[in-house]
Amino acid sequence: MTPDPTDEVLRALAEPRRRAILELVAHSELAAGEIAAAFDVSRTAVSQHLTVLKEAGLLHERREATRRLYRARPEGLAGLRDLLDDLWGASLDTARRLVEADRAAGTGEAGRGAGPDEGVA
């Protein structure tokens, strides 16, 4: 069974350092050494994080001589964006139905008014 790409993206983003790495390379391409210098962990640990991000489709790796350069792949987030759009859309639909049902039952805020004795101290 092939893993769901969105699940891989979510797993990759679950780790705070990986999110920080993506922020570093969101607007510019950086060498692996430059990325590693930004963290207080071993180069091996950063390399493992880069591998996870690359395998999840969130990073592009380019080789230039002996250097490896990384930049974010915004298109790698497309599946996650679609998932969030679907969830948000479903939540808005549910909220709309609840408001409409509330209005139909006459219990909405618009249908409520202060009675003759309410609001008097």
- Assign 3-class secondary structure to the chain: CCCCHHHHHHHHHCCHHHHHHHHHCCCCCEEHHHHHHCCCCCHHHHHHHHHHHHHCCCEEEEEECCEEEEEECHHHHHHHHHHHHHHHHHHHHHHHHHHHHHHHCCCCHHHCCCCCCCCCC
Residue 85 lies inside a defined structural domain of this protein: yes
State the CATH number of the domain containing residue 2: 1.10.10.10
Q: What's the rounded Cα separation, in Å, for the pair 17 and 43?
A: 13
pLDDT of residue 2: 63
pLDDT of residue 5: 80
User: Mean pLDDT over residues 34-61, rounded?
Assistant: 95
Angle at the Cα of 68 from the Cα atoms of 37 and 80, rounded to 5 degrees: 85
Is there a domain that residue 81 lies in?
Answer: yes
Give how many domains the chain has, as a whole number. 1
Q: Is 119 among the domain residues?
A: no
Better pLDDT: 46 or 82:
46
Domain assignment present for residue 121? The answer is no
Please indicate, yes or no, if residue 114 is contained in any of the structural domains.
no
Residue 118 counted as domain residue: no
* Whole-number Cα distances in Å, 93 to 75, 81, 87, 90, 96: 27, 18, 10, 5, 5
The closest of 60, 75, 74 to 30, measured between CA atoms, is 60
- Give pLDDT tens digits for 91-104: 677 777 788 888 88
- Is 110 part of any domain? no
- Measured distance CA(41)–CA(87) in Å, rounded: 36
Which tens digits make up the pLDDT trace of 58-117? 999 999 999 999 999 988 888 888 878 777 776 677 777 788 888 888 765 554 544 455
Within a domain: residue 120?
no
When the pLDDT of each residue in the chain is averaged and rounded to a whole number, the result is 84
At 107 the pLDDT is 67
Residue 4 lies in domain: 1-105
Q: What is the pLDDT of residue 108?
A: 55
Query: What pLDDT, on the 0 to 100 scale, is given for residue 17?
Result: 96
What's residue 101's pLDDT? 83
Q: Which pLDDT score is estimated for 72?
A: 94
Provide the percentage of residues in the chain whose pLDDT is more than 90: 55
